[in-house]
Amino acid sequence: MFKKLFPLVVIAIFVVFQSSAQKVKLAKTEDQKNVDVDYVKFDTSTKYNCYYTTFKDYNKMLEEEDKEKKKDRWIWFSSSYVPFAKPKSNQLEFVLTKILKKSGYIDTVNQIFKNEGNIVYLQPVIGEERYYAINGAPNEDNKKGKISLYKCKMDLNWRITNVYGEALDSVQITTETKDFDSTNFYSEGMMEKFFTQALSEVFANKKLESYFKLNNTTAKLTQTSLPKPTVKLANATEAQLATVIVKTERGHGSGFAITNDGYIITNYHVIASKTLNKPYDVTIILNDGSKVKATFVKANKDRDLALLKADTKFEKCFEIPTQKNFKVFDELYAMGAPRSIELGQSATKGILSSERNVNGVSLLQVSMNINSGNSGGPMFNNNASLVGVVSAKLFGFGVEGVAFGVPGYKINEYLNIDFK
Integer Cα distance of 1 and 84 in angstroms: 4
Integer Cα distance of 105 and 96 in angstroms: 11
Give the pLDDT of residue 70: 63
Give the pLDDT of residue 284: 97
Integer Cα distance of 49 and 3 in angstroms: 8
Integer Cα distance of 309 and 226 in angstroms: 11
Are 269 and 304 in contact by the 8 Å Cβ rule? The answer is yes
Give the pLDDT of residue 229: 93
Angle at CA 402, nearest 5°, toward 399 and 407?
A: 160
Q: Which residues of the chain have pLDDT under 50?
A: 1-21, 80-83, 396-398
Give the pLDDT of residue 39: 92
SS3 240: helix
Please report which helix (H) or strand (E) contains residue 7, including its range.
helix 2-9
Residue 117 exposure: Cα atoms within 13 Å on the Cβ side: 15
Question: Exposed (0-12), middle (13-18) or buried (19+): which is 223, by Cβ within 10 Å?
Answer: exposed
Integer Cα distance of 258 and 317 in angstroms: 5
Question: Under CATH, to which class is 224-419 assigned?
Answer: mainly beta
Q: Which of 237, 243, 278 is nearest to 264 (CA)?
A: 243
Are 177 and 153 in contact by the 8 Å Cβ rule? The answer is yes
Percent helix, percent strand, percent coil in the chain, to nearest 5: 20, 35, 45
Q: How do the domains of the chain map onto residue ranges?
A: 2-212, 224-419
SS3 295: strand
Residue 409 to residues 54, 247, 292, 412: CA-CA distances in angstroms?
73, 26, 28, 7
The residue ranges of DSSP E strands in 185-251, in sequence order, are: 224-226, 243-247
Integer Cα distance of 199 and 420 in angstroms: 52
DSSP 227: P
DSSP 351: E
Q: Note the maximum CA span of the chain.
A: 93
Question: Exposed (0-12), middle (13-18) or buried (19+): which is 24, by Cβ within 10 Å?
Answer: middle
The residue ranges of DSSP E strands in 139-262, in sequence order, are: 146-161, 167-176, 224-226, 243-247, 252-257
- CATH for 2-212 is 3.40.50
Q: What is the pLDDT of residues 90-140, one digit of tens each?
A: 888 999 999 999 999 998 877 667 888 899 999 999 988 877 778 777 776
Are 119 and 36 in contact by the 8 Å Cβ rule? The answer is yes
Integer Cα distance of 51 and 165 in angstroms: 39
> Rg of the chain over CA atoms, in angstroms?
28
